[in-house]
Amino acid sequence: MGPDSLYKACDIRGHAEEELTEALYEHWGRVLAARVEVGAPFAVGGDVRPSTPAFLEALCAGLAAGGAQVVEVGVAPTPMVYFGRRHLQTRACAIVTASHNPPHVNGLKWMVGSRPPDEAEVRSLSCPPGGATPPGRAGGGRSAADLSAPYGAWLTERWAHDAALRLVVDPGNGCWSGRAGEYLRAVFPAAEVTALHDRADGTFPERSPDCSRPGPLAELAAVVRERGAGVGIAFDGDGDRVAFVDDEGAVLSAEEATQVLLGCLGAELAGRGFVHDVKFSDKVADAARALGAEPRAQRSGHAFIRRLMMDCDARFGAEISGHYFDAELEGGDDGLFTACRLVHHLGREGARLSDLRRACAPVFMTPDLRLEVPAAEQEAVLAAVRAAHAGRPQSDVDGVRVDFPRGWALVRRSVTEPAVTCRFEGRRAADLEDTIEAFCSTLPELGPRLAELYRREREGETT
């Protein structure tokens, strides 16, 4: 029933009309129900996409038919559903969402127990030949729960402060619409909160649901400047990612935001692990070490970071896409929780976010440079990189990273498309150019394409 392309490294994603069906969601519900005890509570929610209600209903029906006691929390941000699993003490949870993807995409995230699925577990949800589905089990049922009040009480108890800041929050028509601003007003009663793009609409008419790039945050930055606000806060479509704009209207890069958040934790990091996306600048790991933390690089992807957070009992974690992980969340992430940490810190310290941004170590790094490569040919590309630089230090945490005297190059498979992504860093601007040239000159097929892509990126020709 479902093509292999649906089953990604960390979750399920596909075109809502062309690849996904209600029958698939019912099948996935039955499969997931079979992984918990008969009658075990199972929290379920969904995002604001037009396709979500029908898929959510089918998922709940499959779970109940499979013997699970479904606790429906309705339309809710992904972090609130994760909170619901903890608060309601359910055995598992699932969310119908495609996170930051465009509105025509939908998908499924879930956890059985406190750990996200690995790649094999994701693929195990696929339908067998002939579309056979697990048999039903008696003992299932459905009930509803409203998490709004308990979530708000938890957030307020953790972060309440008289921070007298002007805040601009941008849910981007996503799951935090109509909610994030109210929660921030409750947690920080002395703050003045303005909400932008605060109408829930799963077609995302006012900005992209992806908050990890500066382009979609231009209006937020402008409003921050106009209102003289202390910080702008933007979320992705399902509310687990977060991005920040400082009091001067500058959008913080992932490296800057992570360094600032490490500083918010300060002494709490001493002797604890810090898990970071392998794509981050080395300057981020250096900042963590300076605070006494023990950096651990991990493969890109929410599930990979979260599992390592739990395995090494890390205090904090970060992914370059805007996920921030915390030991207080069982190694999980919550964009609003992270935003509250930053606002609390700014209020407590009387600090300006622009000053904290300027104090961050400068980074000389490319964004992801994506080259279309069929999946069947990607291993050959990685092998060619390993062979071409066999004499240099290499890491295989995610793809292959090659260390140069004053920089590094990373080539890895994309988890979302038939492509390899490449990223480079240099200690200084000149070192970045030298590293790219040294890398590309050794690869007669990949090198020229990559050099041209970098030239276009640098000159602003790519989107």
Judged on CB neighbours under 10 Å (0-12, 13-18, 19+), 4 is exposed
Select from 286, 308, 303 the least CA-distant residue to 295. Answer: 286
Return the SS3 of 298. strand
CA distances 249 to 168, 223, 325, 336, Å, are 11, 8, 25, 20
Q: What is the pairing mode between strands 166-170 and 192-195?
A: parallel
CA-based torsion, 86, 117, 66, 238: positive or negative: positive
Using only the alpha carbons of the chain, give its radius of gyration: 22
User: How far is it, in rounded angstroms, from Cα 218 to Cα 348?
Assistant: 28
* CA contacts within 13 A on the Cβ side of 235: 35
Q: Which residues pair with 424 in a beta bridge?
A: 409
Cβ 368 vs Cβ 415: under 8 Å: no
User: How far is it, in rounded angstroms, from Cα 324 to Cα 314?
Assistant: 12
- Known catalytic membership, residue 99: yes
User: How far is it, in rounded angstroms, from Cα 213 to Cα 227?
Assistant: 22
Return the H-helix or E-strand segment holding 158.
helix 148-159
Alpha-helical (H) ranges within 176-217 are 180-187
Select from 84, 94, 85, 92 the least CA-distant residue to 147. Answer: 84
Select from 178, 15, 19, 176 the least CA-distant residue to 103. Answer: 15
User: Which single residue is written with the structure tokens 């994701």?
Assistant: 122
Both structure tokens of 392: 């240099």
User: How far is it, in rounded angstroms, from Cα 193 to Cα 23?
Assistant: 43
Cβ 427 vs Cβ 407: under 8 Å: yes
Q: Which residues pair with 402 in a beta bridge?
A: 394, 409
Q: Which one of 99, 212, 300, 414 is the catalytic residue? A: 99
User: How far is it, in rounded angstroms, from Cα 163 to Cα 341?
Assistant: 12
User: How far is it, in rounded angstroms, from Cα 333 to Cα 79?
Assistant: 7
Q: Which residues are catalytic?
A: 99
